[in-house]
Structure 1
Amino acid sequence: MTKPNARVLKDVIRTIPDYPKPGIMFRDITTLLGDAWAFRRAVDELVQPYAGAKVDKVAGIEARGFILGGAVAHQLSAGFVPIRKKGKLPHETVRVSYLLEYGEDEMEMHADALVKGERVILVDDLIATGGTALGAVELLRRLGAEVVAACFVIDLPDLGGAEKLRAAGVDVRTLLAFEGH
């Protein structure tokens, strides 16, 4: 057995070849979430640059962003805002369409989830092409949020999503990078 201080987060993430389609290497963080040490370390590393900073809310993108974002919000003593797929929220919402690698989708958040000027960190498990994260940033900004940063456990730099976010004026923090798709 490996000593905990010698462990590496990347080794805890399961890779599933050809899912959801041939040629894709799916990076499954459920193994990270199920490992107490790895989950704690990932959350601590996502929180660290913002500890002591003024952060009003953490926004998490459905679904794994809810798990990570809730833990980050707790550590920062901030509120949590869910960003969901269209039709999943019960109150008045604002909606945005965004591009996926092979199509388009919509996501929304409650119209009263933020107060103009609140400082928000966006959290999700993975940044790939950036379409979902850019859509979430658009929603947050539409409600007047100052997007402090977008944080992800995994970056797939070959797909360019983190660079697109940076080009949109968003500070991006990622913990790990995997080559390919």
Structure 2
Amino acid sequence: MKTVRDYIRTIPDFPHEGIMFRDVTTLFGDARGFRMAIDQLLHPYAGTPIDKVVGLEARGFILGGAIAHQMSVGFVPIRKKGKLPGKTVEQAYQLEYGEAVMELHDDALQPGEKVLLVDDLLATGGTAEAGIRLIERLGAQVTGCAFVIDLPELGGARRLQNLGMQVHSLCAFEGL
């Protein structure tokens, strides 16, 4: 029987030499694989009160939208700076080659709302931490962080757990 990991393609030397890119588009393109991933991402949160699903740009939108639909809750995108049309709050975070900024509409979440944060890949945890900071600045509470892939050597899960977050990943790949 296939697992979620079996649907993920690895592309060597992308976007740089020495990187093993974990491509989830092959997972998304297969109806059974995609359904399996959504079901497994939801499973730990069955019975947990969640008001909104927040997806990190860009593949987190695909997963988050499907999860929000299944949970019958709203979906909220966290985007790269300059992509949202309304008033926003922003959070800078470090990349291996510099700094980036994520934004969230300032009225996207209400104080006290319970939120599930979703993305395809957890590497260093910088993007997810920026998302958590934005969610918390609006007064909402992160109930959990769900990812398809964890790259444990990069320490992202540990970083988020040190922030008090519950982290759920469907599979892990060693190396970069």
TM over 0.5: yes
For 2:104 and 2:7, locate their aligned partners in 1 and report how far apart those are by CA, in whole Å. 32
For 1:99 and 1:35, locate their aligned partners in 2 and report how far apart those are by CA, in whole Å. 33
1:10 Cα shift? 1.0
How do 1:8-157 and structure 2 match up within 5 A?
Answer: 8-157=3-152
When normalised by structure 2's length, the TM-score is 0.98
How many pairs does the alignment contain? 176
Runs (4 or more) in structure 1 with deviation over 6 Å come to none
Matched, 1:175 2:173: no
For 1:46 and 1:173, locate their aligned partners in 2 and report how far apart those are by CA, in whole Å. 8
1:78 Cα shift? 1.2
- CA displacement 1:36-78 (0-9 Å, x = unmatched): 0000000000011112221000000011000000011111111
1:101 Cα shift? 2.2
- CA displacement 1:64-101 (0-9 Å, x = unmatched): 00000001111111110000000000000000001112
For 1:70 and 1:113, locate their aligned partners in 2 and report how far apart those are by CA, in whole Å. 15
Alignment RMSD (CA, Å): 0.7
1:7 Cα shift? 1.2
| SS of residue paired to 1:47 | helix
When normalised by structure 1's length, the TM-score is 0.96
| SS of residue paired to 2:108 | coil
For 2:154 and 2:2, locate their aligned partners in 1 and report how far apart those are by CA, in whole Å. 27
Q: Give the AA of the match of 1:16.
A: I
Contact residue 101 and residue 129 of structure 1 kept, 8 A? no
For 1:23 and 1:51, locate their aligned partners in 2 and report how far apart those are by CA, in whole Å. 39
For 1:47 and 1:159, locate their aligned partners in 2 and report how far apart those are by CA, in whole Å. 25
| SS of residue paired to 1:46 | helix
Q: 5+ unaligned residues in a row in structure 2: which ranges?
A: none
For 2:126 and 2:98, locate their aligned partners in 1 and report how far apart those are by CA, in whole Å. 10
